[in-house]
Structure 1
Amino acid sequence: MSALSPELLDRIRSRAAGYDRDNAFFAEDLDELRAAGYLAPRSLLETARDQRRLAAYAPATALGINMHLVWVGVARVLHDRGDTSLDWVLADAAAGELFAFGNSEAGNDLVLWDSLTSAERVDGGFAFTGTKIFTSLAPAWTRLGIFGKQTAGEGAESGPRLVHGFLRRATPVTPIDGVETLDDWDTLGMRATQSNTTKLDGAVVADADVSRFLPVGPNADPFVFGIFSNFLLLIGSVYAGIADRALELAVEAARRRTSLKNGGAAYSQDPDIRWRLADAALALDGLRPELEGLASDVDTLTDHGADWFRHLTGAKHRATEAARTVVDQAMRVAGGGGYRSSSELARLQRDVLAGIYHPSDTESVHSTVAGALLGPL
């Protein structure tokens, strides 16, 4: 059963414009979502459906909370496949702890296959030094998932390896040695996520909180599969939710606007406008079966073999590109009023652009599909 009541969603929508205008974190939304049990583990299918609903009311809130839900989803994927190493993540999430995603690095287009952050073996854990960008939930996390590359020391005798783990803080304002959060989030859209840069300077992840040692380069470890499947399908669901709302606003505009050229008839009676709205709906209609079908396949342990990454990256790509198309069509239907900064559609137009920056980007998606079809270069 969804934790998103109509009343909760309406309150969340009422705050979205203010967060965007003030470039402020969605603190009140987070408090209400936590109280409603939204941070707790659920199936990927249920989560994807709710994230799409939430994004239609407040895209930046949905995108920010996505990062917590990804880590919970990774732990669930592992548990369902007999690996209990991250069951503590499920327990912490159920207790209200907030997980954030601290993997992205400027200049690292290999994403999870390598890292520019160093991971050095120290007594009792690993010390991480590097810069992480787009750390959504930066003002509020209590658990931060990070990774870096170990090039020497115990465990790296045979060559470099990637070390994944979690930093902990008791409260969002508890200082951690070697961790600095910059106040540098001033973007075109998705402003309420407050995805500030995180600088690591010898920040220590305890041995007990190390989640994986993986080789440098592509691999199909269940941990990696969990990240890809949850991240890509939940990202796609957020942008599908933006498109849902944009289409809804476009229909309202078509019914409200009138045409002097057509004798005062509503634009909803204009064949060109009707075609434009139908075209947007056709682009949107294909997203639900794909996103929900793949989410269900993750939940039920369906084996797509080597095609999994092609399916997942393709689903995210199609969702974000379709969402951009739908919002663009909605802006055209709404007319000049949609171009005002106070317009919800204008905010959706800014928010939807962020979809092109999330992994996997368009170039990576096409490379993945080409590799599946033709083999490696």
Structure 2
Amino acid sequence: MSAFDPSAFLPDDLLDRFRERAAVHDRDNTFPGDDLADLKAAGYLALLVPAELGGAGLGLAEASVLQQRLAGAAPATALSINMHLVWTGVAKVLADRGVDALRFVQEGAAAGEVFAFGISEAGNDLVLFGSDTDAAPQPDGSYAFTGTKIFTSLAPVWTQLGLHGLDTTSPDGPKLVYAFVPRTDAVVTRDDWDTLGMRATQSRTTELHGAVAPADRVVRRVDPGPNPDPIVFGIFSVFELLLASVYTGIARRALDLAVETAKKRTSKRTGAAYSQDPDIRWRIADMALAYDALPPQIAALTRAVDDVVPPDGRWFSYMSGVKHRAATTAKHIVDEAILVSGGSSYFTRSELSRLYRDVLAGLFHPSDPESAHSTVATAWLGPVEG
């Protein structure tokens, strides 16, 4: 089998264009529609779709490498497309385990559909285990969803919104219902995305006013709370691993910029390049030591998902842990890169200035630091008593 070549999907010249555009979209608070068009042309929307369905037939491990590479050029573009890749990744995870409920996602992605991720809700720290969105069953097997979703990346362009809501009226309820709704008049997208960083994701608030998911787009009904159902496992694992990939890509770019700057800057005091300064060398070594731990962890976990390794009792702690480590390590590395680069990085024209703002978003995605620590504590100590 030939080695995977990320440049076949993301060549250097394309990444250079993405990087140039990233500064403009960040400044203007606009969605990178031009990036999306290029990614579509490169077959990126169907990376995880089987070749027999018109996709690239890649695994989660290869998609992770590509997302790290893309995030190094345009973090917000990578984070946006992440949410589409989550659903195609979940479709692959389920199909690999004998569940064909999301075949329409695979076929849709190959045909150019854009899938958005409608799970997050304000104040809902249950995330996958509960929902404040009402899912009302209809006589024809469809569901009407009413509620508000936040942080809906790809807001200006998505064609299908994958979401969940709570059915409290069915005889076997309550049930969490996972389904997909098309963009209709029953879906209102607020123009409210004006944030510190990751501005080009345009992750706007989405209002659902009886938005209907057809019966054939209702993919799962599960009990609320922690659940071994494949869709919960699929969403959690793919979401966490691809998020970790994006922030690992940011970390690598910050490290590369720090190395580049250290080689170019010259000390007035010694006349030598900063790369020869022992304090700068120590700082960059510290950054590299932190970064080097991330790609192997992500590679091992993505391969385990691709290889259908049965999850054990620690699986959720592995996934939340690697996302937490990637986000916090990336922030540390960007902080250090700014110190290496000096005062010029304080100007908004500096790429590091943008990375500094972009990387902060990693602390807010599930699993946030509190949730990650709670999950890992439960894995090691058992649940809290009482």
Q: With the length of structure 1 as denominator, give the TM-score of the two structures.
A: 0.96
Give SS of 1:229's match. Answer: helix
Deviations 1:152-192 (A, max 9, x none): 1xxx32431111100124xxxxxx13210000000000000
Confirm or deny that 1:204 pairs with 2:212. Answer: yes
Letter in 2 for 1:77: V
Confirm or deny that 1:157 pairs with 2:171. Answer: yes
Residue equivalent to 1:88: 104
Confirm or deny that 1:221 pairs with 2:229. Answer: yes
- Equivalent residue for 1:191, pick from 180, 183, 199: 199
Give SS of 2:117's match. Answer: strand
1:211, 1:13 → 2: CA distance? 37
Letter in 1 for 2:217: D
1:329, 1:220 → 2: CA distance? 40
Confirm or deny that 1:69 pairs with 2:85. Answer: yes
How far 1:211 sits from its partner (Å)? Answer: 1.1
Q: What are the equivalent positions in structure 2 for 1:106-125 lying under 5 Å apart?
A: 106-124=122-140, 125=142
Confirm or deny that 1:35 pairs with 2:41. Answer: yes
How far 1:307 sits from its partner (Å)? Answer: 1.2
Confirm or deny that 1:233 pairs with 2:241. Answer: yes
- Equivalent residue for 1:346, pick from 334, 353, 357: 353
Q: What are the equivalent positions in structure 2 for 1:179-328 lying under 5 Å apart?
A: 179-262=187-270, 264-328=271-335
1:307, 1:137 → 2: CA distance? 32
1:210, 1:7 → 2: CA distance? 41
Give SS of 1:57's match. Answer: coil
With over 3 angstroms needed to count, the CA separation of the structure-2 counterparts of 1:158 and 1:87, relative to structure 1, is closer
Letter in 2 for 1:161: K
Residue equivalent to 2:163: 146
Residue equivalent to 2:51: none
Letter in 2 for 1:222: P
1:239, 1:307 → 2: CA distance? 23
Confirm or deny that 1:98 pairs with 2:114. Answer: yes
Q: Which runs of 5+ in 2 are unaligned?
A: 49-57
Residue equivalent to 1:16: 22
RMSD over aligned Cα atoms: 0.9
Residue equivalent to 2:52: none
Residue equivalent to 1:172: none
2:12, 2:343 → 1: CA distance? 30
Letter in 2 for 1:51: Q
Runs (4+) off by over 6 Å: none
Deviations 1:174-231 (A, max 9, x none): xx13210000000000000000000011111111100110101011211111101110
How far 1:108 sits from its partner (Å)? Answer: 0.1
Q: Which runs of 5+ in 1 are unaligned?
A: 170-175
Deviations 1:241-291 (A, max 9, x none): 0011101111111111121222x2111111000000000000000001100
Letter in 1 for 2:238: N
Confirm or deny that 1:335 pairs with 2:342. Answer: yes
How far 1:304 sits from its partner (Å)? Answer: 3.3
How far 1:112 sits from its partner (Å)? Answer: 0.7
Give SS of 2:44's match. Answer: coil
Letter in 2 for 1:28: D
2:254, 2:201 → 1: CA distance? 20
1:143, 1:222 → 2: CA distance? 21
Q: With the length of structure 2 as denominator, give the TM-score of the two structures.
A: 0.94
Residue equivalent to 2:53: none
Greater alpha carbon shift after TM alignment, 157-166 vs 343-352: 157-166
1:199, 1:248 → 2: CA distance? 41
Letter in 2 for 1:82: G
Residue equivalent to 1:372: 379
2:108, 2:12 → 1: CA distance? 27
Residue equivalent to 1:26: 32
Give SS of 1:116's match. Answer: coil
Give SS of 1:45's match. Answer: helix
Letter in 2 for 1:21: R
Give SS of 2:313's match. Answer: helix
Residue equivalent to 2:152: 135
Greater alpha carbon shift after TM alignment, 5-14 vs 335-344: 5-14
- Equivalent residue for 1:78, pick from 94, 98, 106: 94
How far 1:22 sits from its partner (Å)? Answer: 0.3
